[in-house]
Amino acid sequence: MTFDNVEWIFFDVGSTLISEEKPFLHRLHEIAEAVNEPFETIQDKVLALYKEKKKGERLLIQEIGMDKPRWRSEDEELFPFAYTCLERLHGKYKIGVIANQSPGTAARLEKQGILKFIDLVIASAEEGVEKPDRKIFELALSRANCKAENAVMIGDRVDNDIIPAKKIGMKTIRVKQGMWKYWEVMGEEEQADIEVENLSEVVALFEGCYETNPVPTDRYQDVIGQVVKGKIDRPMRSYHPRHPKLYYPVNYGYVEGVIGGDGAEQDIYLLGEDKPVAEYIGKVIAVYHRYDDNETKWIVVPCDENGNVRSNIKVPNRDEIYAQIAFQEQFFCGVLIGI
């Protein structure tokens, strides 16, 4: 798909630009306390309901008969690549928001530092209409003075974002973040024009490198699972030698004897350590593929010579990896492969 005729890009807010994971987990903890069940049990029940395309925590609250716990909006935070995504697209396109939100959406976006990139905010509380009602999309297009075929809707929800936007002729991109990433698409109506895993890939789509440097067909299966050794030349809590503002919150180094795409030794992020180290033995658990660069970055966790991850190491999940490498990868377009 090309975006040659696109004038406006509209984003959802929750689980698209803003991560709601922390307030969501707070709510699950409160539910668990109310029913005196382990948090993990409640989490599993909610996850199972989301996989059935149901808003899991809301159904549990109704079933229990408890008052809905306060949503801790103060714990909301930008997704790792949200700021740079908007920064890079703003000016090339008009940027809008179409979101189901409580009053004060613009103020919350301002607090997050991204309102300056947004030309139009259409929020349900202020407009008196909410997604998936097509009227909120038509209202946004009318205020933007934009035809549906010249607009893209980007969101995490198939029911609220993709289906109604497609029905009125907008292009659609589904970002598989938050709990709605578990929605299994059934039929053409639910299928977005493009699905991505993060907002960095959105930039790659609009800047053209998504197709010119795609993920290899073997998806780095020859790399993932390898046990590698190397040096850490930029340890945790150090600064880049030539770019003194670039701080390393994790250990960053290279694999000895393996040459990367830039002709130098292969770079790695060593995750799981809580202190600076000088060298490592580790297992490759994922590869970060850069669309707009000839380098890839290997994601490594400490292990022994046989590939057994040390017992004191917490292996990060996909979202945690994105958050930990964003300090540097925010300047590039890419996607994690293998986890």
Which pLDDT tens digit goes with each residue over 235-286? 999 999 999 999 999 999 999 999 999 999 999 999 999 999 999 999 999 9
Q: Where are the domains of the chain?
A: 8-19+76-212, 21-74, 227-337
**Percent of the residues in the chain that have a pLDDT greater than 90, as a whole number:** 97
Residue 6 predicted with pLDDT over 90: yes
pLDDT at 134: 97
pLDDT in tens, 303-321: 999 999 988 999 999 999 9
Q: What is the pLDDT of residue 3?
A: 84
Q: Phi/psi of residue 111, each to 5°?
A: -60, -35
Domain 8-19+76-212 falls in which CATH fold?
A: Rossmann fold (3.40.50)
Residue pLDDT, tens place only, 141-157? 999 999 999 999 999 99
Smallest CA-to-CA distance from 10 within 137, 130, 112, 145 is with 137
DSSP type of residue 191? -
The DSSP element (H or E) to which 234 belongs, if any, is strand 227-234
Q: Does the structure show a pLDDT above 90 at 78?
A: yes
Q: Taking 90 as the threshold, does the pLDDT of residue 339 lie above it?
A: no
Strand partners, 336: 288
The CATH T-level fold of domain 227-337 is: Inorganic Pyrophosphatase (3.90.80)
Residue 326 vs residues 100, 171, 243, 250: alpha-carbon distances, Å: 27, 28, 16, 11
Q: What mean pLDDT do residues 118-128 have?
A: 97
Mean pLDDT value across residues 35-48: 96
Give the pairing type, strands 8-11 and 151-155. parallel
- Taking 90 as the threshold, does the pLDDT of residue 2 lie above it? no
pLDDT at 4 (0 to 100): 84
